């Protein structure tokens, strides 16, 4: 049976790979991005033609309440929400401006509240649904020079566990994936090749994870038994 799947931050990286995974499964997709709408439109068309599915692309700042509210004006039903949109800040906390902090928290954490607020009533009506949040190992252990990012992902983990308890009586599962170092444009933007190589040497598997591996785990969680909820599942090659 085809499912309706919302994936935020789907124009590149992890979100793009997750979208491709659900498209292969034959699901109907609702994809969002902030700055790469033309790229997302092309990707949406490509998925529609390749997998013979319905795929809708929207420009949406998921860290902005009104933008998410407008998005859901176009959504009349939803089965799965994948909260993937995220940004990072690498540097000393004292070098961070309040605007940087607010943007990061809005994108990484507030967005979960906004999408959940509008998606949950549709799921409760059916007494089923799945919310999958893309988190980070830094939300569990913290990272120097990534205080804000770590704090936001710690919030994602707590949000996941608490919401899972709140929605369990309604048959809705809420889980998260705590990613380690994944080979994405965001990581390559903030880290030099030497820094990435040093990280790889620390990881028992000796390499970064791939976006396809995150997508594969996301699909597994989407198909997981109903009794699995409130879990933060680590995908880090044995690193942390």
Show which residues are catalytic: 149
27: tokens are: 């699901």
58: tokens are: 């929207």
- Confirm if 60 and 32 have CB atoms less than 8 A apart: yes
| DSSP at 175 | E
- Confirm if 56 and 31 have CB atoms less than 8 A apart: yes
Torsion-angle region of 92 (φ positive above 0: left; ψ -120 to 50: alpha; else: beta): beta
Handedness of CA 114, 43, 213, 237 (dihedral sign): negative
In this structure, what are the phi and psi dihedrals at residue 86, rounded to the nearest 5 degrees?
-165, 155
Which distant-in-sequence residues (6+ apart) come within 8 Å of 74 by Cβ?
30, 56, 58
Burial class of 100 by CB neighbour count within 10 A (0 to 12, 13 to 18, 19+): middle
- Confirm if 30 and 76 have CB atoms less than 8 A apart: no
Any alpha helices (H) in 25-137, and if so which ranges?
37-51, 65-72, 98-105, 111-126
């Amino acid at each position: 049976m085809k499912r309706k799947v919302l994936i935020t931050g789907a124009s590149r990286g992890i979100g793009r790979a997750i979208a491709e995974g659900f498209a292969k499964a034959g699901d109907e997709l609702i994809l969002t991005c902030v700055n790469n709408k033309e790229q997302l439109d092309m990707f949406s068309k490509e998925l529609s033609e390749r997998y013979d599915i319905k795929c809708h692309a929207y420009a949406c700042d998921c860290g902005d309440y009104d933008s998410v509210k407008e998005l859901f004006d176009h959504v009349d039903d939803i089965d799965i929400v994948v909260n993937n949109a995220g940004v990072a800040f690498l540097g000393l906390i004292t070098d961070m401006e309040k605007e940087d902090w607010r943007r990061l928290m809005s994108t990484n954490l507030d967005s979960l509240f906004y999408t959940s607020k509008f998606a949950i009533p549709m799921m409760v009506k059916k007494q089923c649904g799945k919310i999958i949040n893309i988190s980070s190992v830094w939300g569990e252990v913290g990272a120097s020079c990534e205080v804000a990012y770590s704090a936001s992902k710690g919030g994602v983990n707590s949000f996941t566990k608490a919401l899972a308890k709140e929605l369990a009586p309604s048959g809705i599962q809420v889980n998260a994936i705590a990613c380690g170092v994944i080979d994405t444009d965001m990581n390559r933007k903030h880290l030099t090749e030497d820094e990435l190589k040093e990280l790889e040497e620390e990881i028992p598997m000796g390499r970064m994870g791939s976006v396809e591996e995150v997508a594969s785990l996301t699909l597994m969680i989407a198909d997981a038994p109903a009794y699995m909820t409130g879990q933060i599942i680590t995908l880090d090659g044995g690193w942390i």
